[in-house]
Chain A
Amino acid sequence: MLSYALRRFLYMIIVLLIISVIAFIIIQLPPGDYLTSYIMELKTTGTDVSLSEIAALKKQYGLGLPIYQQYFKWMWGMLHGDFGRSFQYGERPVSELIAERLPLTVMINIFAIIFVYIIAIPIGIYSATHQYSKGDYIFTVFGFTGLAIPNFLLALILMLLFYEYFGLSIGGLFSPQYKMASWSLDKFVDMLKHLPVPIIVEGTAGTAGLIRVMRGCLLDELKKQYVITARAKGVSERTLLFKYPVRVAVNPIISTIGWMLPAIVSGGAIVEIVLALPTMGPLLFAALLTQDMFLAASSIMILSFLTVIGTFISDILLVWIDPRIRYEKGA
């Protein structure tokens, strides 16, 4: 178990390294860089940029170097907690920008996952045990609809409804008066008021998916012979359900953390852009559009880091819960 966890951990580090390379390459893909768009902007505003100034800027940003040198410079810095500097946010360190937004991102994602599990598992169990009942149909329709509505559309519609009926703007995570304020109880309460919409929106798709998974697994499990045997022996329906099939069916649920976390982080990115939350998604988006390369690459890294950790945890949990897995992997 420990050696498996250790190997898995090492492997996670390697994955992160490769992702960093991929992230950096992707960021380099678009023609031009931040400097060219920056110079263009200066020119359109009428400011003349001399060649020597361009050279100075290039040197300052380290853009003159070959790509692999830029990468190693960035990588080396990252190991020391220096993610490079953002261009568009007036030379602020990337690490600072990310540190501002990461806790909120993680918090929203974790809440969204908790939301998904709390809603999905009981509904999944109910739907499986009451297959083809009215409730099952209602939940199925709900689940399908949740899967079908694009996250950003749901966010947009909720914003619309709130705006229309309550005259509130629910964009952002804080009311205007708390935006710049330091943390206080009032600010915290204000944030809690803004939290439900992003959490519900980000959790909807996951909930719908998980209900289907849970229902499917449990249905498969309920058809197995040991269930019939137990029933024939007179085990009460409730004990039977929670003692065996549910426990087996929850197994795939654990492994779904592996994909649900990326899904929530990823789907959340768009929701956060639409809702204008102070989180990672909008940061990455703005960085991509302005070719703010260190910021963009670091954002991708951090977002991937979140999901890699998630997969790591789900793998460990899975081995811990289901001992059969270990033999399959030949560990």
Chain B
Amino acid sequence: MRDEGKKTSVEESYYVASQWQLMWRKLIKHKLAIFGGIILAIFYFVAVFCEFLSPYDIYEGGVEYIYCPPQRIHFFDEKGFHFRPFIYEVKQTMDPETWRRIYIEDKTKKYPLYFFLQGDKYKLWGLFETEIHLFGVKEGTIFLFGTGKLGRDLFSRNLYAARISLSIGLIGVALSFLLGSILGGISGYYGGTADMVIQRVIELLISIPTIPLWMSLAAALPPDWPPLKVYFGITVILSTIGWCGLARVVRGKLISSREEDFAMAAKIAGAREGRIITRHLLPSFLSYLIVNLTLAVPFMILGETALSFLGIGLRPPVVSWGTLLHDAQNVRTVVLHPWLLIPGLFVIIVVLAFNFLGDGLRDAADPYK
């Protein structure tokens, strides 16, 4: 992307750089944005390879593992440092006073951690059948984030959930972006009746409070739908509102910029409307669009999480951060098993990362400042 081959002075390279090159240079100076971008890259990497990265099958559980707290990976034992990390055995017992299930670390039994280990069978992306997992233990268990009420490994489940939660954000935003920029563009550039109609529709949709509307629509999804259909149903529901905000931004910006001198100049020079919109007007408010898009993704993720948390979004067996949090609804359960809130932490991190990135992009998208 950058022309490193040519030897140009710093000043010269500034003047020959294209707008996108300038944006890139400005973006990499924005530390928080880069930080957010890296976090997101890691998360999306995990989402793509979740089957490989997770040690267990997400539907395998057992009574003997119910609500097992997170196990720690150890490097040190009584003999000192071990290069190969290991895990102590945990045993389920009953607290004699409260009659609650508790787990005790048995320090006499150690299970070393192995990499690229054979484990539960899975199909990567539903295509390649294999049994190799990034890490695991040959005997005993490794529950890095503990287990849930069915004794299933929450670490694996969180990784799989990342795939669903993160993809729903992207697909939802892609849908809203398409709708929003087309309808907002028509509305803003042409005005008149089309503008009237589109604006009224938007106002109508916006004036119904989002979450109640989502709740009603989600509750209306037939309970016998297969998981994939529900997934797309929820995505569509989320973007029914998502596009409105974007369309408004596009429209507002088009209205204010179409009267600008440069737009007039382009018109007089004989540029076609499509060209004026895409080449002259759109770039002038690209920063706003990008900020809106990056802010819309977390909005979608939050929406899905909220719906699934209430139990009317995605449904088991689909695993998303929201469906995982659904198990954490009861305060008493959470007090006893705080690791159930880990998915919430991921949601916050991802949303933060998107916001940081969006903020950096906003500054960068206007490189001439």
Contact = CB atoms under 8 A, between A and B. Distances in A.
B161 interface: no
Contact of B309 (A152, A157, A307): A152
In terms of DSSP, what is the predominant structure of the interface of chain B? helix
6 contacts: A18-B204, A145-B352, A148-B347, A149-B348, A152-B309, A285-B310
Contact of A288 (B216, B305, B338, B356): B216
Contacts of B351: 147-148
Contact of B222 (A23, A31, A269, A289): A31
A22 B211 CA distance: 15
A151 B219 CA distance: 20
Given A26-B220, A266-B212, A163 B335 contact: yes
A201 interface: no
A307 B344 contact: no
A31 B225 CA distance: 12
A150 B302 contact: yes
Given A303-B212, A307-B208, 17 more contacts: A18-B204, A29-B217, A30-B221, A145-B352, A149-B348, A150-B348, A153-B347, A156-B329, A163-B331, A262-B210, A266-B209, A267-B211, A285-B215, A289-B219, A300-B208, A307-B207, A311-B203
B178 interface: no
B367 to A, nearest CB: 16
Contacts of A169: 331
Interface of A: 15, 18-19, 22-23, 26-27, 29-31, 144-145, 147-153, 156-157, 159-160, 163-164, 169, 171, 258-259, 262-263, 265-267, 269-270, 273-274, 281, 284-285, 288-289, 296, 299-300, 303-304, 306-308, 311, 328
B319 interface: no
Nearest to B347: A150
Contact of A15 (B204, B325, B352): B204
A159 B222 CA distance: 33
Contacts of B264: none
In terms of DSSP, what is the predominant structure of the interface of chain A? helix
A15 B11 CA distance: 57
B164 interface: no
Contacts of A157: 341
A288 B215 contact: yes
Contact of B212 (A152, A258, A269, A289): A269
Given A30-B220, A145-B352, A148-B352, A19 B347 contact: no
A307 B217 CA distance: 19
Nearest to B298: A148
Band of interface residues on B: 35 or more
Contacts of B356: 144
Contacts of A299: 212
Q: Sorted from nearest, which 4 A-B pairs have the closest CB atoms?
A: A266-B209, A29-B220, A148-B351, A266-B211
Contacts of A289: 219, 312
A144 B306 CA distance: 18
A150 B312 CA distance: 16
Contacts of B209: 262, 265-266, 269, 303-304, 306-307
A146 B134 CA distance: 35
B22 interface: no
A144 B358 CA distance: 11
B144 interface: no
Interface of B: 200, 203-204, 206-213, 215-217, 219-222, 255, 298, 302, 305-306, 309-310, 312, 325, 328-329, 331, 334-335, 338, 341, 344, 347-349, 351-352, 355-356, 359
A169 B335 CA distance: 12
A160 B334 contact: yes
Contacts of A145: 348, 352
A288 to B, nearest CB: 4
A144 B207 contact: no
A52 B221 CA distance: 31
A311 B209 CA distance: 12
Contacts of B341: 153, 156-157
A284 B208 contact: no
B325 to A, nearest CB: 7
Nearest to B351: A148
A160 B305 contact: no
A288 B213 CA distance: 11
Contacts of B349: 148
A247 B288 CA distance: 22
Nearest to A299: B212
